[in-house]
Structure 1
Amino acid sequence: MKETIQNLPDSPGVYQYFDKTGKLLYVGKAKSLKNRVKSYWRFTPLFRPNPDQSSRILMMLSEAQKVEYIIVESEEDALILENSLIKQLKPKFNILLRDDKTYPYIYIDESVDYPRFEITRKVVKGKEITYYGPFPTGGRALLDAIYEVYPLVQKKSCLKEGKVCLFYQIKKCLGPCEGKITPEEYAKIIGEVKSSITKRKKLLNVLGDKMTNLAINERFEEAAKMRDMIQSISTLTLTSNIDIADRVDLDIFAIKNGDERGVIVKLFMREGKVISSSHSYFRHTHIYDENEAYKQALLEFYGVDVPHVSKQILTAHPFEDAEQVEHTLSKRFGQRIEIITPQRGPKKKLIELALQNCDELLRKPKEKNIIEQKVADLLDLSTIPYRIETFDNSHMMGAATVGGMVVWDEGIWDKSSYRRYELHAKDEYGQMKELLSRRIEKFAEEPAPDLWILDGGQANLNLAKKLLHEAGVNLDVIAIAKEKLDAKAHRAKGSSKDLLYTDGGVIELKPTDERLHWIQRQRDEAHRYAITYHQNKKRKEDIQVSFLNQKGIGKATLKKLIDYFGTFDSIQNASLEELTRVTNEKIAKIILNQKEEQ
């Protein structure tokens, strides 16, 4: 390692420290790899860590046995690569913030005569697009409220019909499709809506009156929906009397690391008023670094597809890489972006408001994730498992082999992140290897979670650890399986217990243990998801087999085809030449004719 450090190039890049087992400890970026990495060390009289470094870095260096580096063209490239590798590989001594959500915005395209307000999470093409937001929560409720209160074009398809519909009859639309309102008159209503998106008092008052009338008329279900809409919109904004006279747009970030957990608070000011806010927790860590926290939070939030970025970003604390992040974001969005920490005036009050909310959120008892903390303690995990991916595969005598991955995130099932995999390996070990390998390939786009749970025993645990080590990813893994009785698992008979396979050995818990119930719940959801996919696929394949049997293709020929092509879909997509090579021209034509009939 000493020799590598002494021969580093004077170039921008990213460096990585590893321990003696090859586990990734730390990822950093540098304008000059030579100067930056050398600054960690003293070379005389002995090669040793530089005592001027922080306690976090000294702890990391005490474990470091190897350093590797990647040269890039610029410091900006190094910054982006560093952030990407931290997300993807989860190094032990880098902090990892878990706030990678893309918030929705409300937008309107005024290039048409009768525009509508829509929701988006990405940039929408158009010259006359206006964005409002972001809305971390309540954005959909706010949009629904707009269409409840204002007589706008209610559906995209309305104008295409060319005649008024039910919405006109119930006075939720003014009939632009028949020219019953001019574009100029419609534009006045649009102006009112724009105002109500940021100044929501009038909107909430109208909704309150509607809710009361519905309740008086005993339409309680509709009144309850209106009540929920009001509550969602009301929670959008922190209570704040701070207004800035020049109607400026500002994004405000405050990050604090508490005794038990850390928190990020974001405030979004538009036209001089705070219109929305959000917060997220991250695990407490003794390796907390303020510079890394702000750098990661800003780079993650302002992704390439963010619809709107304020020209001025306020941070509660100054941080070392602010100038470089500022330059990177300015280049990314093609406009000058400032990152400042105000010391006085109304902007300073916004920072104080954000920090007050940090303190309040850190004081709040943990309502969620208590069981996750208990599981982390039980399994000696490196992090509290807020986000978990659980894997299972399913087949019947080697047919319709599939895998499923389910995702638990902050106390709920994240069904949009569930994934199904069609597997081709013949044995269960090979199938699990294929399943996990395909997930690892996606870590760059969809970062690793806090924990993997596998359906299976020690062999699957060892497999996962091997694959993760080869990929250089730090990720906790456990497996859960029935104990073997007479070399059988007796899954359905209840005569055997679930065992947990961990780095520290096998753990057996009482059947009543809530921690075991939580892990079983993850496993059972993965099994349900995989088996449903398997059953659907098996049903489809059975229909195909039956059809081919009727056409005179026997079991031996079908086996030959499956062995060669792997799946029925591959057989159906094969050419006449490929099919003839495996069987003969007659059978090939039968299969191709079946494809045409379907």
Structure 2
Amino acid sequence: MITTLRSLPDSPGVYQYFDERGKLLYVGKAKSLKHRVKSYWRFTPNLTVNPAQSPRIIKMLHEAVRLEYIVVESEDDALILENSLIKQLKPKYNILLRDDKTYPYIYIDESQPYPRFEITRKVVKGKNITYYGPFPSGGRALLDALYEVYPLVQKKSCLREGKACLFYQINKCLAPCEGKVSPEVYATIVEEAKQAITKRKILTDTLQEKMAALAMQERFEEAAGLRDSIQAISSLNITSNIDLAKEMDLDIFAIMNGDERGVVVKLFMRNGKIISSAYNYFRHTHIFDRNEAYTQALLEFYTIDTPNISKEILTAHSFEDASPVAQTLSKRFGKKIEIETPQRGAKAKLVKLALQNCEELLRTQKNDSIMEQKIADLMDLSAIPYRIETFDNSHMMGAAAVGGMVVWNEGKWDKSAYRRYELHARDEYGQMKEMLSRRIEDFKSHPAPDLWILDGGQANLNLALSLLKEAQINLDVIAIAKEKLDAKAHRAKGAAKDILYTPAGVIELKPSDKRLHWIQRQRDEAHRYAITYHQNKKRKEDTQVSLLNKKGIGKATVKKLIDYFGTFDAIHNASSEEIEKVTNKKISNIIKNNNEEL
């Protein structure tokens, strides 16, 4: 390490510390690698840790045996690369704020004679686009309420087809497609709807009246739908008596660290009113670093595709990298963006409101992760696993091989994050390797969880640990597998019990142990998800085999084709020449002439 320290360049870049096992400990960025990295150390008379560093950095440096660095062109590049590496590699001494969601916005393109309100998560091309949001929740309910209350164009196809539809007959559209309303009159309705997006009491009051009318008519399902919409729209509101005296656009960020987890709260103010809010928790609170937290939160939230970004961002605390972060965001969006930590006045009250929300969220969530804490203690995990990914694969004699990943996040199933994998390996070990490798590749865009649970024994555990070590990623892994209790070899026969495999050794729990039940629940959900995909794929493949058989292609030939090409899709996309090489010209002609049926 001393040689590396002496040869550090006076250039911006990113540095990485590793321990004796090659595990990544810490990622940092520097305007000058030479000055920043050397500030961690004292060089006389011997190389020792600088005692002025924070306790977590001192602890990290005592474990470090190797240093690597990457030179970049500017401090902005260093900031972005540092954030990307933390997200992808999960270094032991960096915190990771996991919020990879993109929030929806409502937008309208008023360059059209009869514009519609729509949902987007990205910037929409156009000269006269107006955005409203973001809406972390309730955005779809708000959009549906606009179309319920105001007679707007309900479908894009209506204008294209030029014919009034059912919505006109039930008084939910004025049929501009048939010229029954002028662009000027329609524009006044659009203006009313635009006001209702921020003054939402107009919508909720109207929906309340419609709900009561439906209930009187005993149309209870429709009434319940409106009730749910009212609740979703109402949840967007944060009561605040703060008067800015100006119709300002502000984004407010507050981060608070707790004993077991921390929380990030975001408030979004548009035209002087708080229109929505969002929050997310994070772990590694024992190594919390405020500068890292705010830097990550801002760089992760404001992606290049973010619409309607506020020019002024308020943070509850000042942080070291505020200036370079503001500079990076300004370059990203092509306009000046300021980051401010107000000390007095109405803006300071907004920050205080965000901090109060942080306190409340930490207080109410304190006891929600008791089982996760017990699992962390039992398995000697590096952190409480708030986000868990569980893997299982399914096949029948090597056919229709698929894998499934299910996600447990903050005490519930996150079904939007579930993933299915079509696998090509023939054996179960190869299939698990293929699935885990593909997930590791995806860490760049979807960060690693706190824990992996694998269906399988020591071999699968060793496989996962090896893949993670090779990728230099810190991630806890356990495996669960059935062990036979009697001599019956067939998997489905005889008694068996579940055994837990960890890097520290094997753990056996009583069948009545609730911790075992919790892990089994994760495994069983992954198995259910994978087997459903397998059954659907197998059914589709059986249909394709049957079609080929009817065309005179025997089972042996089908097997030869599958063994060579891997999947029916690959056979479908292969050229006549390729198929002919594997079989003969007659088979090739049959397949290529009947591809539309396959």
In structure 1, the partner of 2:73 is 73
**Residue range with higher mean Cα deviation, 311-320 or 222-231:** 222-231
CA–CA distance in structure 2, aligned partners of residues 452 and 485 of structure 1: 27
Q: Structure 1 residue 234 and structure 2 residue 234: aligned?
A: yes
Q: Structure 1 residue 456 and structure 2 residue 451: aligned?
A: no
Per-residue deviation at 1:558? Answer: 3.6
**Residue range with higher mean Cα deviation, 397-406 or 471-480:** 397-406
Deviations 1:37-87 (A, max 9, x none): 111111111101111101110011011011111111111111001001100
| Residues 529-568 of structure 1 aligned to structure 2 (within 5 Å) | 529-568=529-568
In structure 1, the partner of 2:347 is 347
In structure 1, the partner of 2:257 is 257
Count of aligned residue pairs for this structure pair: 598
In structure 2, the partner of 1:478 is 478
Would the alpha carbon gap of residues 211 and 553 (structure 1) be closer, same or farther in structure 2, given more than 3 Å must change?
Answer: closer
In structure 1, the partner of 2:213 is 213
CA–CA distance in structure 2, aligned partners of residues 491 and 515 of structure 1: 24
In structure 2, the partner of 1:126 is 126
In structure 2, the partner of 1:51 is 51
| Residues 190-589 of structure 1 aligned to structure 2 (within 5 Å) | 190-283=190-283, 285-366=285-366, 368-486=368-486, 492=492, 495-589=495-589
Deviations 1:196-235 (A, max 9, x none): 1112122222222222223333333222222221111111
Given residue 232 of structure 2, which amino acid in structure 1 is its aligned partner?
Answer: S
* Equivalent residues of 2:500, 2:507 under 8 A apart: yes
Structure 1 unaligned blocks of 5 or more: none
Given residue 299 of structure 2, which amino acid in structure 1 is its aligned partner?
Answer: L
Would the alpha carbon gap of residues 380 and 390 (structure 1) be closer, same or farther in structure 2, given more than 3 Å must change?
Answer: same
Q: Give the secondary structure class of the aligned counterpart of 1:518.
A: helix
Given residue 280 of structure 1, which amino acid in structure 2 is its aligned partner?
Answer: N
Q: Give the secondary structure class of the aligned counterpart of 1:286.
A: helix
Per-residue deviation at 1:277? Answer: 1.3
Deviations 1:88-111 (A, max 9, x none): 000010011122221111111101
CA–CA distance in structure 1, aligned partners of residues 33 and 167 of structure 2: 65
Would the alpha carbon gap of residues 594 and 191 (structure 1) be closer, same or farther in structure 2, given more than 3 Å must change?
Answer: closer
**Residue range with higher mean Cα deviation, 392-401 or 105-114:** 392-401
* Equivalent residues of 2:98, 2:447 under 8 A apart: no
Deviations 1:160-205 (A, max 9, x none): 3323222222222222222222111111111111111112122222
Structure 2 unaligned blocks of 5 or more: none
Per-residue deviation at 1:500? Answer: 1.2
**Residue range with higher mean Cα deviation, 582-591 or 390-399:** 582-591
Q: Give the secondary structure class of the aligned counterpart of 2:285.
A: coil
Deviations 1:370-409 (A, max 9, x none): 3323322222222222222221111111222222222222
* Equivalent residues of 1:482, 1:489 under 8 A apart: no
In structure 2, the partner of 1:178 is 178
Given residue 25 of structure 2, which amino acid in structure 1 is its aligned partner?
Answer: L
Would the alpha carbon gap of residues 531 and 49 (structure 1) be closer, same or farther in structure 2, given more than 3 Å must change?
Answer: same
Q: Give the secondary structure class of the aligned counterpart of 1:483.
A: strand
Given residue 249 of structure 2, which amino acid in structure 1 is its aligned partner?
Answer: D
Deviations 1:237-271 (A, max 9, x none): 22101132221100000111022321111111111
| Residues 104-123 of structure 1 aligned to structure 2 (within 5 Å) | 104-123=104-123
* Equivalent residues of 1:249, 1:269 under 8 A apart: yes
CA–CA distance in structure 2, aligned partners of residues 8 and 386 of structure 1: 38
Would the alpha carbon gap of residues 117 and 548 (structure 1) be closer, same or farther in structure 2, given more than 3 Å must change?
Answer: closer
CA–CA distance in structure 1, aligned partners of residues 367 and 196 of structure 2: 33
Would the alpha carbon gap of residues 200 and 508 (structure 1) be closer, same or farther in structure 2, given more than 3 Å must change?
Answer: same
* Equivalent residues of 2:390, 2:407 under 8 A apart: yes
Of all paired residues, the percent bearing the same amino acid is: 77
* Equivalent residues of 2:485, 2:497 under 8 A apart: no
CA–CA distance in structure 1, aligned partners of residues 367 and 157 of structure 2: 44
In structure 2, the partner of 1:139 is 139
Would the alpha carbon gap of residues 529 and 259 (structure 1) be closer, same or farther in structure 2, given more than 3 Å must change?
Answer: closer
Would the alpha carbon gap of residues 363 and 533 (structure 1) be closer, same or farther in structure 2, given more than 3 Å must change?
Answer: closer
Per-residue deviation at 1:493? Answer: 5.0
CA–CA distance in structure 2, aligned partners of residues 233 and 27 of structure 1: 41
Given residue 484 of structure 1, which amino acid in structure 2 is its aligned partner?
Answer: K
Per-residue deviation at 1:489? Answer: 7.2
CA–CA distance in structure 2, aligned partners of residues 484 and 69 of structure 1: 50
Per-residue deviation at 1:146? Answer: 1.2
CA–CA distance in structure 1, aligned partners of residues 496 and 306 of structure 2: 51
Would the alpha carbon gap of residues 561 and 201 (structure 1) be closer, same or farther in structure 2, given more than 3 Å must change?
Answer: closer
Per-residue deviation at 1:425? Answer: 1.8
Deviations 1:530-558 (A, max 9, x none): 22222222233333333434444444444
In structure 1, the partner of 2:187 is 187
* Equivalent residues of 2:454, 2:479 under 8 A apart: yes
Would the alpha carbon gap of residues 100 and 596 (structure 1) be closer, same or farther in structure 2, given more than 3 Å must change?
Answer: closer
Would the alpha carbon gap of residues 489 and 15 (structure 1) be closer, same or farther in structure 2, given more than 3 Å must change?
Answer: farther
Q: Give the secondary structure class of the aligned counterpart of 1:497.
A: strand
Q: Give the secondary structure class of the aligned counterpart of 1:122.
A: coil
Q: Give the secondary structure class of the aligned counterpart of 2:287.
A: coil
Q: Give the secondary structure class of the aligned counterpart of 1:481.
A: strand
Q: Give the secondary structure class of the aligned counterpart of 1:157.
A: helix
Q: Give the secondary structure class of the aligned counterpart of 1:442.
A: helix
In structure 2, the partner of 1:61 is 61
* Equivalent residues of 1:243, 1:273 under 8 A apart: no
Given residue 384 of structure 1, which amino acid in structure 2 is its aligned partner?
Answer: I
CA–CA distance in structure 2, aligned partners of residues 580 and 491 of structure 1: 41
* Equivalent residues of 2:251, 2:268 under 8 A apart: yes
Would the alpha carbon gap of residues 592 and 28 (structure 1) be closer, same or farther in structure 2, given more than 3 Å must change?
Answer: same
The TM-score, its normalising length taken from structure 1, stands at 0.96
CA–CA distance in structure 2, aligned partners of residues 117 and 290 of structure 1: 39
* Equivalent residues of 2:95, 2:283 under 8 A apart: no
Would the alpha carbon gap of residues 516 and 2 (structure 1) be closer, same or farther in structure 2, given more than 3 Å must change?
Answer: same
* Equivalent residues of 1:424, 1:431 under 8 A apart: yes
CA–CA distance in structure 2, aligned partners of residues 247 and 550 of structure 1: 71
* Equivalent residues of 2:486, 2:495 under 8 A apart: no
The TM-score, its normalising length taken from structure 2, stands at 0.96
Q: Give the secondary structure class of the aligned counterpart of 1:8.
A: coil
CA–CA distance in structure 2, aligned partners of residues 218 and 70 of structure 1: 68
* Equivalent residues of 1:141, 1:232 under 8 A apart: yes
Would the alpha carbon gap of residues 562 and 217 (structure 1) be closer, same or farther in structure 2, given more than 3 Å must change?
Answer: closer
* Equivalent residues of 1:483, 1:489 under 8 A apart: no
Given residue 236 of structure 1, which amino acid in structure 2 is its aligned partner?
Answer: L
Q: Give the secondary structure class of the aligned counterpart of 1:28.
A: strand
Given residue 257 of structure 1, which amino acid in structure 2 is its aligned partner?
Answer: N
Given residue 414 of structure 2, which amino acid in structure 1 is its aligned partner?
Answer: D
CA–CA distance in structure 1, aligned partners of residues 489 and 51 of structure 2: 55
**Residue range with higher mean Cα deviation, 568-577 or 99-108:** 568-577
CA–CA distance in structure 2, aligned partners of residues 597 and 142 of structure 1: 44
* Equivalent residues of 1:89, 1:474 under 8 A apart: yes
CA–CA distance in structure 2, aligned partners of residues 232 and 92 of structure 1: 39
Q: Give the secondary structure class of the aligned counterpart of 1:276.
A: strand
In structure 1, the partner of 2:35 is 35
Per-residue deviation at 1:597? Answer: 5.4
Given residue 138 of structure 1, which amino acid in structure 2 is its aligned partner?
Answer: G
Per-residue deviation at 1:348? Answer: 1.1
In structure 2, the partner of 1:23 is 23
**Residue range with higher mean Cα deviation, 392-401 or 78-87:** 392-401
